[in-house]
Each structure stands twice: as structure tokens, then as C-alpha cells.
Structure 1
């Protein structure tokens, strides 16, 4: 397979040379990676806030009944106070784009976890007992202990088919814009 281009005149040759130079410009590569990162970050935030599915389209497992009782009206899967959603970010490193969260529990949400968890000794402020508010809060020292934890995975990182299509469209639009500016 081959491609041939017939160029007539110095002006047309200069135009093609500008386009070739634009394609090889390292600044354009960095700009494209930044654009891809911003789009992928937005897709991940949308998955958390509205789609509530893994990249393969599998719906996330609902809360257990006992855990659901501890949640209030404006909380939903992966959105308590919005910390995970707010932490989603992209980074461009070399020729790669990484999208994720620096939160220590993000990996547990992404991959799930089933096993023992060690809880350090700590102080707890108790403001109610048996469903009734206490007149005076009590500070209680809690000794270190181990508890069982079973958290199903709720994949929020990755690309769905429509995410990939959107990214390919973004890349195409980007290069069309670069070539238009160069010609």
C-alpha cells in the first residue's frame, strides 16, 4: 500500500511542509495528551456521579441493607461527601496519560476487598446513645481491634466503548485543527 501526493508549485510544497512540521511538533503532542487527560478525567467523574457502572457497563453492586441505613438522602454509591469525585485527576507522564485518585481507599473501591482490617486505638466522641441525643457528649477511648471487611469492587477507572469512541473523536478533531492551522 502506498500514498502519493503530487505537488505543484512552491506555495503548495510549503503548505505541505508546514503541515508535516506541525504533526511533528512536540508541543502539539503535549497539548494532545493534556486534552486526552481532561476528557478521560471528565468521563471518570461522569461514571462516578451519574452512570454508576463499571467501564464494561456492569452496574455497581448496591450497598448492603445495614450500610444503607447509615447513609442520608444526598449520598449515593461512591459519593458520600464528594471526596472521591473531587480527587479524580489526570497526569501526563512522558507519552502517557494517567487518570486516577490519590486517596488511599480508591484502590479498595476499584478492586474490592475481602479480609481483616486493623483499626488503631483512637478516641471517639459519643453524642447519642440508643437513638437519643446525650446532654453532654462523652469521649470514649477505643482499643485497637481487627474487623472483617467485605467490600465489593466498584470499578470507576477505565474506558468504556463509548469513552474510547469519544477519545478517538477528540484526537481526530485535535489533529484536524492542527492541520487546518498549518495550512
Structure 2
């Protein structure tokens, strides 16, 4: 290695930088798959209840109940949102390097994701809308009736049902080990030429 000229050393370092970028991209794909599998298979399943209407919960918290699957699909990177004519992925996954080390950012852009992850307590504005009812004051109606509901506020308490942080916690050691092993192997390959 001491026989390298400055130009050769510069070329090796450039080669290492290029290989590092490719390796990080490949690692990110593997990490996304592992984290999304843990989140969706361990923390988003509610055995026995797969279709609404869901029975009342016995506990305040518990696993998420999946209605559309949008949140789960966004974590796997397979979901593309086309609302407003602008298609974009709802998955967030990136790796960046800082002075402190390598930072993995993973998540979702689904608007209600943070409510499930962290919970919510507060007032919510409900816009005016119509509702079809089949009973009134606990008694069945002879036929369905569409009624207008005025705009109003509603106090909501939604308990946290985390799925992402537990998945990250479960896989932290794997991420660290895989990243360290891959980087050591890559550096050795580039240095050895």
C-alpha cells in the first residue's frame, strides 16, 4: 500500500466512495424490507379481526386494525400516492453520513401515521356532511334515511398503537451489525485493490 502514488490513492478513495454509495443503497433495500416486515407482521396485526365492523376493544391500546392497508403498504415502499395528480411514494427511507456516523431514516408520509404511532388527545373539526341512518333513538327506521350533519368539533382520545418504533428497536442490533460488517468488507476489498 505504501507504493501507491497520490493519484493512485485518490483513485482508490474515489472507488471506495462510489462503492460505498452502491453498498448503502443495497443495504437500505434490505433494511426497508426487514423493518417493514417487522412492523406489519408483528405490530399491525390483530388476529381474528380482518374486516370491519370491528368489535369494541377490551383494552385501550393494542395492535392496529387494518382497514385499507395503506399504512402497511407505505412502509414496504409499494404504495404510490397519486392524490392531486402528483404521484409520489409514501415511504421514507434514506441513509446519510454525519460526523457522528451513519444515520438511517425510515418511515411513512401517510398523514395519520403519527396518530397511530404516538396517540392523540384533542379537539378535531368535523366538516358538515351527510349520513345515511337506519335507526333513530335506538329504534329501527322503516327505510334508510339520509340526514345532514352540521359542522362541529369533537374531542378525541386515540391511544398510541406504536408499530414503527418497536420495529426499529427490535432491529437496531441487526442494522448496526450488518452495516458494520458490510462497510469493513467493502473497505478491505477496495484497499486490497
Q: Distance in 2 between matches of 1:85 and 1:97?
A: 19
Q: Distance in 2 between matches of 1:165 and 1:87?
A: 24
Q: Is the 8 A contact 2:43 2:162 kept in 1?
A: no
Of 84-93 and 33-42, deviating more is: 33-42
The total of aligned residue pairs comes to: 152
Identify which of structures 1 and 2 has the higher relative contact order when contacts are C-alpha pairs closer than 8 Å and 6+ apart. 1
Q: Distance in 1 between matches of 2:146 and 2:187?
A: 63
* Equivalent residue, structure 2, for 1:77: 64
* Equivalent residue, structure 2, for 1:64: none
* Equivalent residue, structure 2, for 1:168: 176
User: CA, structure 1 residues 93+50, in 2 after alignment: closer, same or farther (shift >3 Å)?
Assistant: closer
Deviation of 1:154 after TM superposition, in Å, equals 2.1
Q: Is the 8 A contact 2:124 2:155 kept in 1?
A: yes
Q: Is the 8 A contact 2:92 2:109 kept in 1?
A: no
CA-to-aligned-CA distance 1:44-94 (integer Å, 9 cap, x gap) = 3223322229xxxxxx9xxxxxx94169xxxx6242221110112233375
Deviation of 1:108 after TM superposition, in Å, equals 0.9
Stretches of structure 2 lacking an aligned partner (at least 5 in a row):
47-52, 58-62, 76-90, 98-102
Question: Is 2:95 the counterpart of 1:87?
Answer: no
Deviation of 1:151 after TM superposition, in Å, equals 1.2
TM-score (norm 1): 0.61
| Pairing 1:74-153 to 2, within 5 Å after superposition | 77-88=64-75, 89-92=91-94, 95=97, 96-126=103-133, 128-129=134-135, 138-153=145-160
Q: Distance in 1 between matches of 2:158 and 2:105?
A: 25
CA-to-aligned-CA distance 1:16-52 (integer Å, 9 cap, x gap) = 95765543x1x33433443343344334322332222
Q: Distance in 2 between matches of 1:20 and 1:106?
A: 41
Q: Is the 8 A contact 2:120 2:160 kept in 1?
A: yes
DSSP-derived class of the 1:150 partner: strand
